[in-house]
Amino acid sequence: MSHLVAPLVEVDVSRHGDEEAPAEAVPKPRLGGAIDLDEAVAKALPIPGRVVTSARKYGMSLWGTAAKIFAQLPNGEYKKYFLKSMSLGETGRSMIEGEFESLRAINAVSLVFAPEPYAWGKYSRDGPETYFLLAQFREVGEQPPDPIKFTARLADMHKRSVSPTGKFGFHTITCHAKLPQVTNIWEGSWSVLYQKQLAHMIRLDEEKNGIWPEFQQMCELTVTMVIPRLLEPLQRDGRSIKPCLVQGDLWDENTATDMETGEPFVFDAGSNYKRNFPVLEPEEEWDDRNLLYSLRFDLRTAILIPGCNQRQV
């Protein structure tokens, strides 16, 4: 589940430490059994007069259900739509709304780089409180996509995106898996925003995994001393940085080649990249900044995956 987009400064599309890219091919999503389409979803489908011919489970969603909807248009043509639903109460609502707004933001910058979102809402049927996202369906081809073409498209999105306030942040909460992120604020200082975001993830980690005094001390030093030391120079001594739109959960299974267009795209809305988007100054601290940025993701992993060793690492 992507969580998806928050304007950032830099993005690390290289590997962390000694981690290697997976050698196995990413399994393609498959069609499953038929599902009953909720009335709210049927009403949200674009193009008046279309008739739904079938709706089937599609691929896998860790926290909900994904489906492929087939519909016939008034002119006789057929159209496919992507549906994701979450029965997690208010958590599901935040996940779905955040993903919808994230896809909409990416799609507004680059039509080819993300599926077009059509609607989000709440199921009308009785039962568990369920929220849904309805979007353009794209046939998944090669995963991951061609790295040269993909990193060029990613850098292009970063270059052409524009913060609506000129600051860092986003207009709504986005989630990383089931965890809400501090994205619904605007800050002129990237250092200040990242302090708030990492401190929030540290609090969630302590709530889930308990207090570890030595780790707590390292976290405090990182938030109060390391972040200002590494990030404040980006906006000091005449330097400036542009808030850029990012996908937020960029990994092999959230990227693919569109089988219809041959273009790389991202979904479930975080190398060659540096050829298209130069390293910011101070350049010699680029690796240090990327290690710092990885902490938020690694802590999220420690929270969500039982037995994960990211805290110890």
Domain ranges of the chain: 31-136, 147-304
Please give the model's pTM, rounded to 2 decimal places.
Answer: 0.86
Across residues 29-51, what is the average pLDDT?
A: 94
Lowest mean pLDDT segment, chosen from 11-25, 42-56, 158-172, 203-217: 11-25
Could you tell me the two tokens for 66?
């994904």
Q: Any idea which residue has 């780790």 for tokens?
A: 215
Q: How far is CA 280 from the centre of its chain?
A: 23
SS3 content of the chain, % helix, strand, coil (to 5): 35, 20, 45
b/e for 207-244, b at 16 or more Cβ within 10 A? eeeeeeeebeeebeebbeebbeebbebbeeeeeeeebb
CA distances from 164 to 132, 161, 169, 201, 233 (A): 26, 9, 10, 26, 24
The amino acid sitting at 160 is R
User: Residue 66: its pLDDT value, please?
Assistant: 94
Pick the CATH number of 31-136 from 3.30.70, 3.30.200, 1.10.150, 1.10.3470: 3.30.200
Greater pLDDT, 24 or 235: 235
Residue closest to 135 by CA, chosen among 307, 4, 292: 4
Neighbours of 69 (CB within 10 A): 23
- Is residue 20 predicted with pLDDT exceeding 90? no
**How much of the chain exceeds pLDDT 70, in percent?**
91
Q: How confident is the model at residue 24 (pLDDT cuts 50, 70, 90)?
A: low
Element (H, E) at 31: strand 31-34
Task: Using alpha carbons, list the distances in angstroms from residue 175 to 1, 77, 95, 297, 298.
Answer: 8, 36, 6, 12, 15
Q: How confident is the model at residue 224 (pLDDT cuts 50, 70, 90)?
A: very high
Average model confidence (pLDDT) across the chain? 87
Task: Calculate what percentage of the chain has a pLDDT beyond 90.
Answer: 65
Q: How confident is the model at residue 5 (pLDDT cuts 50, 70, 90)?
A: very low
Instruction: Give me the CATH code for the 147-304 domain, please.
Output: 3.90.1200.10
Whether the pLDDT of residue 189 is over 60: the answer is yes
CA 74 to CA 80: how far, in whole Å? 14
